[in-house]
């Protein structure tokens, strides 16, 4: 099939066409979770081979590493005339990430505290991702598409870290880029309405905010809730916090400091991801593919762009 990944998938029910069309309704949750776990472990075990598949292929300046988590099939078809190879996030591998029991219990407690519902296995999403990967088979067989488990390096830590910064997390992005992010930050209020979190297109002093960046993917946003800490305990490297809930808004100075550090943290997450993706790009001797004007402008700040596909970000 042109990839060790599909050596596994051709024998797996994950790409069974009839099961995909039925949304895996006859397969139990435990079977699906177990198969996704098996696929994840397989991908991690052969990760060096997947990289070798790419690096030992034909030399080309028209290889693209995608910073887009989901590259549209139409785009892949349209670029066959001038792109030698696309290196994509493996969407099934990303879906296979599962919390361990302790993580799930911690997340459940935190979600209940905040009023979030605990998500169950999303069969509709699984069917959609599986159908997408199945449609990639002829492209993979022709070595035009390579799937790599790069989302592994962007997974959340196994334990929730407690972070503190005297500078309001200004160090999360280089000083030369800080103004770039703050000028493009859109901060909106989040309020509880009938048990749901609603984002309002204005900013009022409160305890919930949502941050996104101008010209970036609207689905990529960052939510923050300001909660009072009633007590701190714990031993060694572990910290125990007793958090309180209140609807009383903070004072303006506290609120503005919180917004400032939240913008810095959000900017840092985008900056770190783009930096890591460009490290992968260099590692695979590829060019970087992005559909985000924000990312394009961000790279322009640091890299003089030339009219050459081998070093340009592809922007469309």
What is the pLDDT at residue 247? 79
Tell me how far CA of residue 153 lies from CA of 157, 170, 276, 286, in angstroms.
10, 23, 9, 19
Its pTM stands at 0.84
Q: Token pair of 273, please?
A: 């991801």
Task: Say how far apart CA 22 and CA 37 lie, in whole Å.
Answer: 21
Closest CA to 12 of 72, 88, 92: 92
Task: Say how far apart CA 242 and CA 249 lie, in whole Å.
Answer: 19
What is the pLDDT at residue 68? 81
- Mean pLDDT of residues grouped by 10 in the chain (316 residues)? 79 95 93 93 92 79 85 92 91 81 63 65 92 95 92 81 89 94 95 83 93 78 84 67 76 96 96 92 90 88 59 46
What is the pLDDT at residue 132? 96
Closest CA to 122 of 21, 32, 219, 26: 32
What is the pLDDT at residue 309? 45
Task: Say how far apart CA 196 and CA 199 lie, in whole Å.
Answer: 10
What is the pLDDT at residue 119? 59
Instruction: Quickly count helices (H) and strands (E) in the chain.
Output: 12, 10
Q: Which residue has the tokens 């596994």?
A: 8
């Amino acid at each position: 099939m042109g990839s060790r990944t599909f050596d596994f998938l051709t024998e797996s029910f994950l790409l069974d066409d009839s099961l995909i069309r039925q949304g895996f309704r006859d397969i139990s949750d435990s079977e699906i979770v177990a198969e996704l776990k098996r696929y994840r472990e397989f991908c991690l075990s052969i990760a060096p081979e997947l990289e070798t598949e790419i690096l030992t292929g034909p030399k080309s300046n028209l290889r693209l590493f995608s910073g887009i988590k989901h590259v549209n099939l139409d785009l892949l078809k349209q670029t066959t005339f001038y792109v030698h190879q696309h290196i994509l996030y493996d969407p099934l591998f990303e879906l296979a990430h599962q919390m361990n029991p302790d993580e799930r219990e911690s997340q459940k407690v935190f979600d209940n505290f905040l009023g979030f519902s605990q998500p169950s296995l999303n069969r509709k999403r699984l069917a959609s991702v599986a159908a997408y990967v199945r449609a990639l088979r002829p492209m993979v067989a022709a070595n035009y598409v390579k799937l790599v488990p790069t989302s592994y390096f962007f997974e959340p830590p196994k334990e929730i870290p407690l972070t503190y910064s005297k500078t309001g997390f200004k160090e999360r992005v280089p000083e030369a880029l800080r103004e770039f992010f703050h000028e493009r930050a859109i901060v909106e209020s989040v309020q509880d309405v009938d048990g749901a979190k609603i984002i309002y297109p204005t900013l009022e002093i409160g305890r919930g905010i949502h941050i996104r960046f101008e010209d970036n993917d609207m689905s990529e946003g960052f939510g923050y809730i300001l909660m009072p800490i009633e007590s701190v305990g714990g031993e060694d490297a572990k910290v125990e916090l007793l958090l309180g809930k209140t609807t009383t808004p903070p004072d303006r100075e506290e609120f503005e400091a919180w917004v400032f550090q939240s913008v810095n943290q959000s900017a840092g997450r985008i900056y770190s991801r783009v930096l890591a993706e460009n490290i992968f790009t260099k590692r695979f001797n590829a060019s970087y593919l992005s559909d985000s004007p924000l990312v394009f402008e961000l790279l322009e700040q640091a890299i003089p762009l030339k009219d050459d596909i081998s070093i340009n970000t592809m922007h469309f």
